[in-house]
Amino acid sequence: MKSHISDENHNINKRLHKLYPQDTAQKALDSIIDLVYKYKQRIKSEEYHLSQKDIILITYGDQVSRNSEASLHTLKEFMDNHLKGVINSVHILPFYPYSSDDGFSVVNYSAVDPHMGSWREVESLSSEYRIMVDGVINHISQYSDWFKSFLAGDKYFEDFFIELDPTTDLSKVVRPRASPLLHEYLDNEGKIHNVWTTFSKDQVDLNYKSYKVLRSVLAAMFYYIEKGATLIRLDAIAFIWKELGTGCVHLPQTHELIQLMREVIHEVAPEVIIITETNVPHHENISYFGSGDDEAQMVYNFALPPLLLNSIVCSNTKKLTSWAKTLKLPSNKVCFFNFTASHDGIGLRPVKGILSDEEVSTIEKRVKDHGGLVSYRSEEDGSKTPYELNCSYIDALSNPKDEQIIRIKRMLVTQATVLAMPGVPGIYFHSIVGSQNYQDGVKHSGINRTINREKYNIDWLENELSTMGSLAKTIFDSYKRMISIRINEDAFNPFTKFSFLELDERVFIIDKSSVDNKERILALNNYSNEEVTIKLPKEIKLPLCDILSSNYCDDNSMKKEETITLEPYQVMWLKGKI
């Protein structure tokens, strides 16, 4: 049996022995070997390397819909008609049957929500686009068969969840929410079970001290890969291992578990990319790169969205540039996943120690003034602090009553920054079409995050995108044009050299080198409503060409001056020799 695990990955056995007692570790190894053997027969592995062409659309499976049609089919039709050849990857947010949290309370890991379609539609998407799926593996729905079996007294599931005496001292546990850590559930005989729930009563945490949980979760991830997934997002992974008397976040066992999962997955499909979602302070977040060759290949760059917002609010990029200059990667095999918006809000914890309390308060007030909301978490002393801004990104940047041209320019300068940052861009569906706050959704659901999760009738959206001068069409067309230029410039490869220049506090400047280190692109982003003239350093070779304003470079389009003038909120991508 052990021969089915390659010699290189004997680390699987070592990692299991770090996580489990000897007898349990051997049982875990045997079950994992069985899984690996089973899926090696079923999964065809194909080598793949990330490049500047990788752009990931973040979307719900039912983001666009049409009557009597599987929404995943409608989504593919939309992408084929509008984004093919521009965006090559799609992160389909949880499309499994679920009971709450718009998919993040999974009832069945191996099924597709019938309202969205079936695995046939997922496989159809994967035939044209690279697919990222969610491993919502910290918790599962209280209505899942796993939890129902636990409450029914099924011996196999008796250790799948964490049951504690409610008098247990849990004061040290880091809380991402203000809800109780333990919730009560009644079994079939009326007995009360107090079970660990990091996020909500409907999201019951799994117990990874049970190797059977690990085996079941790995089986689900292999199934996703078999159905076409090439990227797996590990949701809320920082909280996955629990040890009483600790904060139960970022534990050594958590990192060991992620490394183990990567080892096992790569035994069958080495091209699969693991991306960790840890909405925590930046220095904690980047720990999930591990050594640069053993943990996540991509990490969400959570500090970026609030820092870009702060730059617009202050018309100043000093804090953004200062933070960016600290960005370092442990190897040339990993990179950041850059974004401004997602299905969640704009996290504030990632900028702890980067922005002052006063700066954070200013951002909070701005979001509230623009119709947004704020969500809170519980601290160890029982107090509550804001952890997330709930607002569409365009409304966070500008008051909905502002002139449309200003709203568009502010939105596009932030999105252009994401496209130029070192790493892979992730673009939320609502960002690419300029969606505004969905107030009616919040009134209906009572959930703050609904404000940025509106779903669209495809015919209505198509009409918006075909109406000249509309907010949606202007942003959509401009965004697509920037992407179409980016994907043809290898200076934007995720693994090339980068640095950040400090030439004017109003302008954020990214210096990216080409793969062969012979060309560079200077991405200049004016975050102010003022015209800004900057003097280029002498080491920057002239001439330079702004590839955003000209699709080709000739003697007439070259800039020979040592100074560059940017209009308010203007973006330039200046290309030249090194």
Token pair in block for residue 37: 């053997």
Nearest Cα residue to 231 out of 109, 119, 135 = 135
pLDDT per residue as tens digits for the range 124-149: 999 999 999 999 999 999 999 999 99
- Predicted local distance difference test score (pLDDT) of residue 5: 61
In a domain? residue 39: no
pLDDT bucket at 551, cuts 50 / 70 / 90 = very low
Q: Is the pLDDT reported for residue 561 higher than 70?
A: no
Concatenate the DSSP letters of all residues of 76-88 into one string.
Answer: HHHHHHHTTTT--
Residue whose structure tokens are 């003034």: 369
- Predicted local distance difference test score (pLDDT) of residue 177: 87
In a domain? residue 388: no
Residues catalogued as catalytic = 235
How many residues in total does the chain contain?
A: 578
Bridge partners (DSSP) of residue 89 are: 56, 130
In a domain? residue 523: yes
Cα 39–41–46 angle (5° rounding)? 85
In a domain? residue 569: yes
pLDDT per residue as tens digits for the range 390-446: 999 999 999 999 999 999 999 999 999 999 999 999 999 999 999 999 999 999 999
- Predicted local distance difference test score (pLDDT) of residue 79: 98
In a domain? residue 504: yes
Domain that holds residue 536: 495-577
Contact present, 414 and 308 (Cβ < 8 Å)? yes
In a domain? residue 560: yes
- Predicted local distance difference test score (pLDDT) of residue 382: 72
Nearest Cα residue to 295 out of 248, 350, 328, 252 = 252
pLDDT per residue as tens digits for the range 358-398: 999 999 999 999 999 999 887 767 778 889 999 999 999 99
Query: Starting from the edge strand earliest in sequence, which strands make up the sheet with 373-378, in order?
Result: 346-347, 384-390, 373-378
In a domain? residue 499: yes
Q: What integer is the mean pLDDT of 282-309?
A: 97
CATH number at residue 545: 2.60.40.1180
Question: Which is it for strands 130-135 and 89-92: parallel, antiparallel or unpaired?
Answer: parallel
Residue 101 is given by DSSP the state G
pTM above 0.75, yes or no: yes
SS3 assignment for 4-55: HCCHHHCHHHHHHHHHCCHHHHHHHHHHHHHHHHHHHCCCCCCCCCCCCCCC
In a domain? residue 571: yes
List Cβ neighbours of 252 (8 Å cut-off, separation of 6 or more).
none
Number of domains in the chain: 1
Long-range contacts of 34-41 (CB under 8 A, 24+ apart): 34/1, 35/215, 35/218, 35/219, 35/222, 35/264, 36/4, 36/5, 36/264, 36/267, 36/268, 37/4, 38/222, 39/222, 39/225, 39/226, 39/268, 40/4, 40/267, 40/268
What Å distances lie between residue 161 and 194, 210, 216, 252, CA to CA? 10, 9, 13, 20
